[in-house]
Amino acid sequence: MPIEMPRGVPFSVDTWTPASPLKHHRFLTHAHRDHLGGTAAAPCIYASSVTVLITLRYFPQLNRAAFVELEAGTPPLLVSDPDGDFTVTAFDANHCPGPSPPSVSSSFPPLFSSDA
């Protein structure tokens, strides 16, 4: 079930709704069908390498260059954004192949997202 992120947050997590194009960044935590529903092109999609491979198999029309691989166990990634920079750390949800729910730190409220 798609859930919109709060206003002012420049990203969405596992959400591909009509409002999603308003977000600069998207996080795909893993490649289960309920997370891929409505998947569309986006300027930047963060996901683990396994999730990227599975997603491109289901949606070959997506541009591989739009994906940024974010792996559990790697240092936090600083993401620059006009609405405010934020730091992302991926965690292994141990839920299925390739899950990497993000923990986001920034000036907006903290977020940890996962269905695991």
pLDDT digits 0-9 by tens, 53-66:
988 888 888 889 98
Cα–Cα distance, 23 to 5 (Å, whole number): 9
98 burial type by CB count under 10 A (0-12 exposed, 13-18 middle, 19+ buried) = buried
Q: What is the pLDDT of residue 1?
A: 45
Start-to-end C-alpha separation, the chain: 15
pLDDT at 21 over 80: no
pTM: 0.74
User: Residue 50: enclosing H or E segment and its boundaries?
Assistant: helix 49-58
CB under 8 Å to 113, separation ≥6 — which residues?
Answer: 13, 14, 27, 29, 101, 102
- The domain limits of the chain are 11-16+23-96+104-113
Mean pLDDT for the chain?
74
